[in-house]
Amino acid sequence: GPADGDHPLLPNGSPVPGRVDNNASLAAPELRHYMRAFVTDLARTYPQIDGFRFDWPEYPCYHFDSLFFDFNPAAARFAAPLGLDFEALREGCLAFLADLSNGATRRKVIALDDGVVFRDSLFAAYPVLAKLIAFRTAIVTDYAGFLREIVDEATDGKALMFLQTFPPPLNTLTGFDLAAARGPCDVIGVKFYTMHWPMIERNYLDALATRTDFAPAAIARALSTILGLSPRRDRAPETIRYPEPDEAHPCDSADLTAKMRAAKAAIGEGCRTCGLAHAYGPVDDVVRRLKAVAAGADGAVHINRFGYMSDEKVEAIGALRKVDA
């Protein structure tokens, strides 16, 4: 994990222990030194490499608290070019988190029945949150440019670069601007790791239930509506959990297609785009998810990991390819 001083930090200056993604601050100089050395070493050792694929070139959103990274002092330099005051941004985020806990957010007009309207009303009530997202996006966009720079340096501009990100609207939370990433990237992958989605919902649900006086069932319903990671229906909060390897994933096919289409549209021309999926779950559900993502990606879907792959799944995916052909 990161060395002391390199962690992404919350507005109060603390890290978040026990994260799924034990990453450094993208602004940390030591991270960038390491990445330059790592890419250079790989290119020298394996000159046949024709492309580099980087995961988590953003602030992953598995934990609610991580949405309020990055107040590492190294990130302060990104505030002024945006017309922001780093310390004022910190204080504003602390004030929002205090309001979340003391009930003051109930006195704000924040819509919970539509994702876009929620975002706009939340930013209207707390403009500092829009500033935080702009700040984090500037760091992530700069980091993407840095990765392009070191790949070009190490390969004399001959290697391709592949970055991958969460699907909309999660990429907004992680700071990954799809349109801006088109410039430095040759390929952008959109991650549909749907076994993680209820895990994300679970963490947000627990965090919000602890901080607020909203009923867990109401929080679960709002999360479904705002994030689109699960069907919009009432759920028992205790059922929201990481699915077992043989369980279907609680995501709606139409949502998968819509998210992929939205990402592809945001990226636009000049950069290849694909969906990224896993083979977790029953055969029928794996095929369902692949078909849904493919429908939004013009058929471009990559299976990222072969965990829980089987001969039956390989045959089913092969049959799907034949039908599409």
Closest Cα to residue 223, out of 197, 245, 243, 247? 197
Strand partners of residue 161: 52
Nearest one of 303, 118, 287, 66 to 192, comparing CA atoms: 303
pLDDT at 322 over 80: no
Q: In the chain, what are the domain boundaries? A: 29-324
Is a pLDDT exceeding 90 seen at residue 234? Answer: no
CATH architecture classification, 29-324: Alpha-Beta Barrel (3.20)
Condensed to tens digits (0 to 9), the pLDDT of residues 271-300 reads 999 999 999 999 999 999 999 999 999 999
User: pTM of the entire structure?
Assistant: 0.96
Q: What are phi and psi of 207, to 5 degrees?
A: -65, -45
Q: pLDDT tens for residues 40-97?
A: 999 999 999 999 999 999 999 999 999 999 999 999 999 999 999 999 999 999 999 9
